[in-house]
Amino acid sequence: MRKIAVFTSGGDAPGMNACIRAVVRSGSHYGMQVMGIKRGYTGLIEGDIIEMDARSVGNIVQRGGTILMSSRSQEFRTEEGRAKAFENIKKHNIDGLVAIGGNGTFAGALQFYTEYEIPVIGIPGTIDNDLSGTDFTIGFDTALNTVVDAMDKIRDTAESHNRVFFMEVMGRDSGLIALYSGIAGGAESIMIPEMDDDILNLTKTLNKALIRKKSSLIVMVAEGDEAGGAFEIAKKVESEFDELDCRVVVLGHVQRGGAPSCNDRVLGTRLGIGAVEGLLRGKTNVMAGIVHNKIEYTPFSETIDNSHKINQDLFKIIDLMAH
């Protein structure tokens, strides 16, 4: 491993810059030249590749987003696109890749290795925390803090007007952001794809709240909940409860931004170093993750096929705290 390259792909996540910094500086420490690929697989296809050193990653650990930028490349899904990418790998004499992203990023890396045998190690960078093989993904903790901060502010106005607020957060296939932030922010009900009978449970919870004459109610909704998004659920509730004044807040991409939390900076740094050391030890087609506070390497095939399992104790907490 004389020369490696790092890139970020898919949705950006706070802490990616800390991870890039760790890859570059640890790679330099081990005597390797480190390149940066801009705009993910799109940049690899177009040859948008730059040399990086310790100074090029200075003063970025506290910044959100990704200095290498990101994209979702349709062209890389084609044989022609991957062939162009391989030509640029050869042109720059790159011996291994560090791919920071999620499921789609890892699926692309696995296909690329199958065809061209370029060693690659993935790092879980996604606010959804939906990848198996790691306890937490880069960006999840920061996103939670952003949501809870917004939730606290919404609680103030909800109590002032005796309203029900439906907060929609990101999570098309995973409800972990809604679940963790809902528990932390004291939501009266949490609606996520992994739970059944959401509307029935919500109706029971609202009935209890009305009996107790609660002054404010917040319902946390994951965008991928089977009952629909926050607007759809709010309509269903309004049709059942004429006396409720309902409002909807969709946080959207604000959840991706902001300075990364301490946890995400440390996590990104540890995983960046873990990926470089994994390549040096001959590992490939694996994701570097943190399991029980230790670096573990999980095959891409497992991370792609399996999602992060929700601790069943968290469902119990929802029921207990709803009273």
| Residue boundaries of the structural domains of the chain | 3-139+260-305, 141-256
Q: In this model, does residue 260 exceed pLDDT 80?
A: yes
Across the range 269-281, mean pLDDT stands at 98
Locate 151 and state its tokens.
Answer: 């939730």
Contacts for 276 with CB less than 8 Å, ≥ 6 apart:
4, 22, 23, 26, 27, 30, 32, 98
**What is the pTM (predicted TM-score) of this model?**
0.94
What is the mean pLDDT of the segment spanning 1-30?
97
Residue 197 has pLDDT above 70, yes or no: no
Quote the CATH superfamily of domain 141-256.
Phosphofructokinase domain (3.40.50.460)
Residue 174 has pLDDT above 70, yes or no: yes
**What pLDDT does residue 226 have?**
82
Q: What pLDDT is attached to residue 204?
A: 86
310 Cβ partners below 8 Å, 6+ apart?
Answer: 175, 176, 179, 194
Sheet holding 246-250, edge to edge: 189-191, 217-222, 164-169, 246-250
135 annotated active-site: no
Q: What is the pLDDT of residues 99-109, one digit of tens each?
A: 999 999 999 99
285/111 Cα distance (integer angstroms) = 10
The pLDDT value given to residue 321: 77
Q: What is the pLDDT of residue 63?
A: 97
Task: Work out the average pLDDT over 119-132.
Answer: 96
Pairing of strands 49-52, 33-37: antiparallel
For the chain, how far is it from start to end, CA to CA, in angstroms?
Answer: 58
Please give the C-alpha separations between residue 209 and each of 153, 163, 205, 237, 273, in angstroms, as whole numbers: 20, 12, 6, 14, 49
Token code pair at residue 22 = 């760790």
Catalytic residue among 128, 130, 141, 264: 128
Two tokens at 244? 């409720």
What CA–CA distances, in Å, run from 249 to 48, 153, 155, 177, 255?
39, 12, 12, 15, 13
Range name among 19-23, 52-56, 240-244, 283-287 with the lowest pLDDT average: 240-244
pLDDT at 123: 98
Would you place residue 323 in the very low, low, confident or very high pLDDT band (cuts 50, 70, 90)? low
Gap between the Cα atoms of 13 and 282, Å rounded:
28
What's the average model confidence in pLDDT over 150-166?
91
For residue 307, what pLDDT band results from cuts at 50, 70 and 90?
confident
- CATH level 3 topology of 3-139+260-305: Rossmann fold (3.40.50)
| Domain 3-139+260-305 and domain 141-256 have a common topology | yes
CA distance 303 to 108: 13
Closest CA to 246 of 318, 158, 313: 158
Residue linked to tokens 């999620």? 102
pLDDT at 169: 97
- Ranking 19-33, 135-149, 153-167, 184-198 by mean pLDDT, the lowest is 184-198
Mean pLDDT of the chain: 93
- Work out the average pLDDT over 200-228: 85
Say if residues 165 and 244 touch (Cβ distance below 8 Å).
no
- DSSP-derived secondary structure for 56-96: GGTT-TT--S-TT-----SGGGSHHHHHHHHHHHHHTT--E
Instruction: Find the helix or strand (DSSP H, E) in which 28 lies.
Output: helix 16-29
